[in-house]
Amino acid sequence: MFIGQRHIIREVEILIPSGDNVNLLLLGQTGQGKTLLGFKIAHYTGQLFGYKIADNNDEFYNIIFRESEHYRTIFIDEIHRLGYDVERLYELMDRRRNFFIFATNRPQELPEAFRSRVIELLFAKYSKEELREITRCYLAINVADELLDMIIQAAEENPRRINQFCIRIGSIIRITGGTLTKGTLKNIIVQYFNIVDGMNSMEREYLSLLERIGTASLQTLTSSLGINKETIQTEIEPQLLFKGRIKITSKGREICRT
């Protein structure tokens, strides 16, 4: 079972029974379930499939070409890692003997020629009830919606983080032998998850740096924080932009003062 993204699932349910081999591209932010849904789709084809994380070297392409002879369905995650060299896959994509599933959170790094060869399926924002259902499944403890919402907020509505938080909450409750109350959950969120005022430690460190130096380039943030560029762009900045805490201008990253 996959919770949410019904618009994608409905389209897949039409495409796969048709017997046509298509090229799908799953688009969405980090942690939204692209890889999980990609596996679900691959299993749904009813055949064995190949899975690889994109790696731009000759051995990767050799493996994909070999597997294309053995598997109908091939799932390539983080396809943006190939950049413009993804054109080396066009031969396989164009002959339509395989059902390709690709996933990325950085479609802007892919050439238009690639994107013209795929059906793009964009992950939608999860509804509150979908997020509650996801949290219930991962938590496996019957609790009130108020507690579910606290976990969802702490995880910044990110299904992957919800899963990670629920695993840790379950372990803490089992070890301490307590019950999950509002007070207990608040304590876990602050003491174990290090989330203060709705922000995790990386977000607070990012904001603290901007407070000290004012406008900063991505390169400055990367070197000063010791955090790689991809983590900043896909995990930290989207949340701070959504919360209205920063803005990105032609000069760089700045604190929002209004």
Q: pLDDT tens for residues 38-94?
A: 999 998 887 789 999 999 999 999 999 999 999 999 999 999 999 999 999 999 999
pLDDT category of residue 258 using cuts at 50, 70 and 90:
low
User: In the 8-state DSSP scheme, what is residue 251?
Assistant: T
pLDDT above 70 covers a percentage of the chain that reads: 100
Amino acid (1-letter code) at residue 62? N
Tokens of 152: 């969802």
Which tokens in the block code for residue 96?
């339509």
Could you give the C-alpha distances from 168 to 94, 180, 230, 236, in angstroms and in order? 45, 12, 25, 21
pLDDT over 90 at 141, yes or no: no
| Average pLDDT across the chain, whole number | 92
In the chain, % helix, strand, coil (3-state, to 5) comes to 55, 15, 30
27 pLDDT above the threshold of 70: yes
What does the alpha-carbon distance between residue 241 and residue 183 come to, in Å, rounded to a whole number? 29
Beta carbons within 10 angstroms of residue 76's beta carbon: 24
pLDDT of residue 207: 94
pLDDT band at residue 110, thresholds of 50, 70 and 90?
very high
Q: What is the mean pLDDT of residues 115-138?
A: 95
224-240: per-residue pLDDT in tens? 999 998 899 888 998 89
Tokens 């509505």 correspond to 157
Residue 17: the pLDDT is 78
pLDDT tens digit sequence for 143-178: 999 999 999 999 999 999 999 999 999 999 888 887
